[in-house]
Amino acid sequence: MATDQHTTTATDRPRPGVGGGHEPVGQEQLWQRAQAAGAATAVAHPNIALIKYWGKRDEQLVLPAADSLSMTLDVFATTTTVRLAPGAPGDRVLLGGAEASGPSAARVVAFLDLVRAASAVPHPAIVDSRNTVPTGAGLASSASGFAALAVAAAAAYALAADTRGLSRLARRGSGSACRSLFGGFAQWHAALDAGDDSGADAASFAEPVPAAPTLDPALVVAVVDAGPKAVSSREAMRRTVATSPLYRPWVASSGQDLAQMRAALAAGDLPAVGEIAERNALGMHATMLAARPAVRYLAPASLRVLDAVTQLRDGGVAAYATMDAGPNVKVLCERSQAGAVAARLREAVPDASVVVARPGPGACLVAGDGR
């Protein structure tokens, strides 16, 4: 890790950023308290990509094949406490209050190993992480999870990392997590021109993307199935990159989508933002459907939501769908129309739980002593 390249100052601590509506009180004091106590609690929110990350060029460093761009939400937060446990036989991982084992615990331990390698502190730790979002259902729980873990672990292990360094660190846990360090809109740089592995590792992080202040979006999330997905996004990406004839053309068009998305956000043009996001997401799902064997995340209920979105547009409501590695559909619209959009989605899929989200804050510490 090159997180130790950065020194920490009061001005480059993680901040909630745009859209959150509040600045946390005393982040600097929280970091100092955490380093002294060897314990910290952080909160992070999931982000939903408007330009998708789908496919890695380096599995170990989690370097993506292309840039992506997302909106951090103000719902479904993850709260994670990391407490150093000197003398303990190993790390302990609690997920949702229950002792975790197997691959999910191993992934957290591997992440702590990265943090320890960059820190002067060798101790094991107790990690206690609680999601308010269903885990593994394509609702970006790994993004909020690893963003919160990166901030809490960096503070507890006294890592000298600024927000950019924390974004790079979170990326190693789960690619999309690097975007949840920031509130509002964020772009994750693929750093394709950064040269060798260590150059690309240093240059692949997320950064905030400016949007016109007149843009006032909502993302209406239709949870049609909260169960875990059958194929992990990691495995689905691997299979798509290796076998889908549509993958390379989609990556090329995604680069154009990203440039147009930045312009649409800067102009505050919600219909353009929505159109670009929808075509980018459908294109990503097309790459998976063409993989061998195919990966299909969309379910009948997902298609009912997509039909409802088309009908909303036919009726003059600017509503646009995006979907990730699961059957749940997120619908972008003006905040003022979110209630009407949510009502229409509830009608189309009565069993779904429908949640209205807005742009939310970046990851930050909420307690500096693990309490």
Interface residue list for ligand 2P0 (CB under 6 A): 49, 52-54, 62, 68, 142, 174-176, 233-234, 324-325
- Distance in Å, CB of 283 to ligand 2P0, minimum: 11
Q: Quick check: 307 and 315 in contact, CB under 8 A?
A: no
Q: From residue 141, how far is each of 145, 152, 233 by CA, in Å?
A: 6, 16, 12
- Distance in Å, CB of 67 to ligand 2P0, minimum: 10
Q: Are strands 353-357 and 217-223 parallel, antiparallel or unpaired?
A: antiparallel
Q: Position of tokens 């997902």?
A: 302
Nearest CA-CA partner of 169 in 155, 183, 187:
155
Residue among 83 and 179 whose Cβ is closer to ligand 2P0:
179
- Distance in Å, CB of 340 to ligand 2P0, minimum: 27
Residue among 137 and 365 whose Cβ is closer to ligand 2P0:
137
- Distance in Å, CB of 231 to ligand 2P0, minimum: 12
Distance in angstroms (rounded) separating the CA atoms of residues 241 and 362: 30
| 39: DSSP letter | E
Q: Quick check: 51 and 333 in contact, CB under 8 A?
A: no
Residue among 234 and 279 whose Cβ is closer to ligand 2P0:
234
- Distance in Å, CB of 108 to ligand 2P0, minimum: 13
Residue among 143 and 312 whose Cβ is closer to ligand 2P0:
143
Q: Quick check: 186 and 206 in contact, CB under 8 A?
A: yes
Residue among 303 and 340 whose Cβ is closer to ligand 2P0:
303
Contacts of 338 (CB under 8 A, 6+ apart): 218, 220, 356
Q: Quick check: 297 and 285 in contact, CB under 8 A?
A: yes
Residue among 31 and 53 whose Cβ is closer to ligand 2P0:
53
Distance in angstroms (rounded) separating the CA atoms of residues 245 and 311: 32
Q: Which residues pair with 82 in a beta bridge?
A: 40, 127
Nearest CA-CA partner of 14 in 206, 199, 290:
206
- Cβ atoms < 10 Å from Cβ of 35: 20
Distance in angstroms (rounded) separating the CA atoms of residues 345 and 352: 8
Residue among 32 and 253 whose Cβ is closer to ligand 2P0:
253
- Distance in Å, CB of 178 to ligand 2P0, minimum: 9
- Distance in Å, CB of 158 to ligand 2P0, minimum: 26
Residue nearest ligand 2P0, Cβ-based? 175
- Distance in Å, CB of 351 to ligand 2P0, minimum: 23
- Distance in Å, CB of 271 to ligand 2P0, minimum: 22
How many residues in total does the chain contain? 371
Distance in angstroms (rounded) separating the CA atoms of residues 121 and 125: 11
What backbone torsions phi and psi does residue 93 show, to the nearest 5 degrees?
A: -125, 120
Residue among 85 and 282 whose Cβ is closer to ligand 2P0:
282
Residue among 53 and 185 whose Cβ is closer to ligand 2P0:
53
Distance in angstroms (rounded) separating the CA atoms of residues 100 and 179: 26
